Amino acid sequence: MIFRSIDLPNFGYSDKHAQLDTYIQQKVTIDPDYRMPAIIICPGGGYEFISNRESEPMAISFAAQGYQAFVLNYSIINNDSTEELLPYPLLELGYTVKYIREHADEWNIDPNKIVLLGCSAGGHLSALYNGVWQQEWLAEKLQTTTESLKPNATILCYALVSFDTVTIHPALAEAVKKITTNEEYRHVDQLVGEQTSPTFIWHTSADATTPVENAWVYASQLAKHKIPFETHVFHKGRHGLSLADKTTAKLQTADYIDPHVANWFPLCITFLDETL
């Protein structure tokens, strides 16, 4: 397996480059024509940090299921900047999709099987991208075609899709403005349309950080636009469970381990097998 950290272009938000971590497997199948699907993982962290519990463990799990895996360490809030954070992570995600397609032959990837996965804030980013990837401004900024930016499926793990579903404490209001004041970016469920890729959603009904309403509003828009989707809401479980097993348990505490919620992963693999 090839582990590399690749600096992405700096689009101007801060001096720090976003990074793409690669988990690229050697070709082992005897079928000379077989190409592997790829998954781009956008961890959570509230746009304030990149959660390592939703990074490498997730990548390794998908690699074990036959995916070339990538973790996007996208730009996060820079308190020294007077600009809003978005759309800079959006540009970084678009560049990543394009970059992987450009290296599909080298990395033995099927360019028609590129999947996005986002957790929490990374889910917001993935859902946002799922709604705008076809817009001409993005292709122009990245100097490419809209087709090269297309995701073939999207996975949303306890994702924030509507800012209206969360209670923002007055003391945090200014910090939230540093992410975006763009109403479309704050309500990405409204960006669902015919361009939106098939989507797998999972959430827990007990999530006190990103309420389960986020799953409902996004799923309802997918249904409205007849986009293939699957939604699973588990009856218990806190926010940020990742794989919900001991490999991603924060401080190895029991509230991050839930065998029932962990079923999301094989369900997701089946969805992708039947969709891609």
- pLDDT truncated to tens, each residue of the chain (276 aa)? 889 999 999 999 988 899 999 999 987 766 878 999 999 999 999 999 999 999 999 999 999 999 999 999 999 999 888 899 999 999 999 999 999 999 999 999 999 999 999 999 999 999 999 999 999 999 999 999 999 999 999 999 999 999 888 865 555 566 778 999 999 999 999 999 999 999 999 999 999 999 999 999 999 999 999 999 999 999 999 999 999 999 999 877 889 999 999 999 999 999 999 999
Residue 136 burial (CB < 10 Å; 0-12/13-18/19+)?
A: exposed
| CA 263 vs CA 179, 185, 202, 210, 245: distances in Å | 32, 30, 10, 20, 10
Q: Is 110 exposed, middle or buried (0-12, 13-18, 19+ CB in 10 A)?
A: middle
Q: pTM of the entire structure?
A: 0.95
What is residue 39's three-state secondary structure? strand
Q: Which amino acid is at 189?
A: D
Task: Judge residue 121's burial from the number of C-beta atoms within 10 Å of its C-beta, 0-12 exposed, 13-18 middle, 19 or more buried.
Answer: buried
Q: What does the alpha-carbon distance between residue 239 and residue 4 come to, in Å, rounded to a whole number?
A: 30
Q: How far apart are CA 126 and CA 109, in angstroms?
A: 20
**So what's the architecture of 2-275 in CATH?**
3-Layer(aba) Sandwich (3.40)
